[in-house]
């Protein structure tokens, strides 16, 4: 029996269509039939996991870069920002002229509907029709585990990161877009908790991913499959590079790894 950990976007779900290709779903079913345990391991918090994946027969969900772990519906671990940490982030966002989307287990929190940060607005316009969303945090204190920050020419990025650094650290950036997670939490710490809980050897763990926030889990175990489109930082740690998810890459990767017939 192996424990197999899958990223979501670009690994199970096509970033071109937004759908789970049938070959990906078939590969996961085949892995279960072969006697393996299958897990989602994602930067998304549970509130932002697509319903289609929640309905699939995964053994567990490792969400929010290690901040929330579910195994057969039971919550094994959960971290959320304390009141002090929440105030630290909200005050830093305001004082440093940043934008933010706060990601929680139950809700995704948006600051407002301003057009100042187009990326945040575009995320809101998509998410509010799919996921549980809250807009505004002046009257209701948000509850969150990680967050996304945005900046523009009026932002004071250095001051912002300096202020939040005791509690949160960035794991990736693209332009003026940053993903921030609580210190000592990664996709790798989530894997460690599952392996310890289930008494599974690290050599019996496999990971599948494509993006830079998968780097920690690629470094955590000796068996890793990179998707056909993947961030180059993963290449040195990949045991095998498969095709894209749209071209049956997940299924092919499972076969190449000897995890399914």
Buried/exposed code over 167-196 (b: 16+ C-beta within 10 A; e: otherwise): bbeebbeeebebbbbbeebbbbbbbbbbbe
pLDDT at position 213: 86
User: Do 73 and 190 share a domain, yes or no?
Assistant: yes
Residue 261: inside a domain:
no
| 240-241: strand order across its sheet | 74-78, 68-71, 60-63, 37-41, 3-6, 205-209, 223-226, 240-241
Of 182, 206, 240, which marks where a domain is finished? 182
CATH code at position 143? 3.30.1240.10
User: Do 30 and 9 share a domain, yes or no?
Assistant: yes
Of 154, 182, 210, which marks where a domain is finished? 182
User: Do 157 and 174 share a domain, yes or no?
Assistant: yes
Q: 3-state secondary structure string, 176-196?
A: CEEEEEECCCCHHHHHHHHHH
Residue 154: inside a domain:
yes
> How many CB atoms within 10 Å of residue 75?
12
User: Do 52 and 88 share a domain, yes or no?
Assistant: no
CATH code at position 227? 3.40.50.1000
User: Do 12 and 70 share a domain, yes or no?
Assistant: yes
Residue 127: inside a domain:
yes
Q: Based on the structure, what is the number of domains in the chain?
A: 2
Query: Could you tell me if 171 and 219 are in contact, meaning their C-beta atoms sit under 8 angstroms apart?
Result: no
pLDDT at position 139: 78
pLDDT in tens, the chain (261 residues): 999 999 999 999 999 999 999 999 999 999 999 999 999 999 999 999 999 999 999 999 999 999 999 999 999 999 999 999 999 999 999 999 999 999 999 999 999 998 899 989 999 999 999 999 999 987 789 999 999 999 999 999 999 999 999 999 998 667 788 999 999 999 999 999 999 999 999 999 999 999 988 999 999 999 999 999 999 999 999 999 999 999 999 999 999 999 999
User: Do 178 and 195 share a domain, yes or no?
Assistant: no
User: Do 149 and 172 share a domain, yes or no?
Assistant: yes
pLDDT at position 207: 98
User: Do 117 and 55 share a domain, yes or no?
Assistant: no
* Residue numbers of the domain that contains 89: 83-182
User: Do 217 and 228 share a domain, yes or no?
Assistant: yes
Task: Round to whole Å and give the CA distance between 150 and 127.
Answer: 17
User: Do 31 and 46 share a domain, yes or no?
Assistant: yes
Residue 245: inside a domain:
yes
Residue 227: inside a domain:
yes
């Amino acid at each position: 029996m192996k424990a197999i950990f899958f990223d979501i976007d670009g690994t199970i779900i096509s970033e071109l269509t937004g759908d789970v290709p049938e070959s990906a779903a078939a590969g996961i079913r085949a892995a279960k039939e072969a006697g393996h345990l299958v897990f989602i391991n994602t930067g998304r918090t549970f509130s932002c996991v697509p319903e289609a994946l929640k309905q699939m027969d995964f053994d567990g969900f490792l969400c929010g870069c290690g901040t929330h772990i579910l195994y057969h519906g039971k919550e094994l671990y959960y971290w959320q920002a304390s009141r002090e940490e929440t105030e630290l982030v909200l005050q830093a966002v305001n004082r440093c002229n940043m934008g933010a989307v706060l990601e929680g287990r139950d809700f995704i929190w948006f600051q407002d509907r301003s057009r100042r940060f187009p990326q945040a607005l575009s995320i809101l316009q998509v998410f509010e029709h799919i996921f549980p969303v809250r807009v505004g945090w002046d009257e209701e204190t948000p509850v969150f585990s990680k967050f996304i920050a945005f900046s523009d020419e009026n932002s004071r990025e250095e001051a912002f990161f300096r202020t939040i650094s005791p509690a949160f650290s960035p794991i990736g950036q693209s332009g003026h877009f940053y993903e921030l997670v609580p210190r000592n939490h990664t996709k790798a710490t989530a894997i460690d908790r599952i392996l310890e809980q289930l008494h599974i050897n690290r050599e019996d763990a496999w990971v599948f991913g494509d993006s830079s926030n998968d780097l920690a889990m690629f470094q955590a175990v000796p068996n890793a499959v990179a998707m056909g489109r993947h961030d180059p930082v993963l290449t040195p740690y990949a045991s095998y590079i498969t095709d894209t998810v749209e071209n049956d890459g997940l299924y092919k990767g499972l076969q190449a790894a000897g995890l399914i017939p």
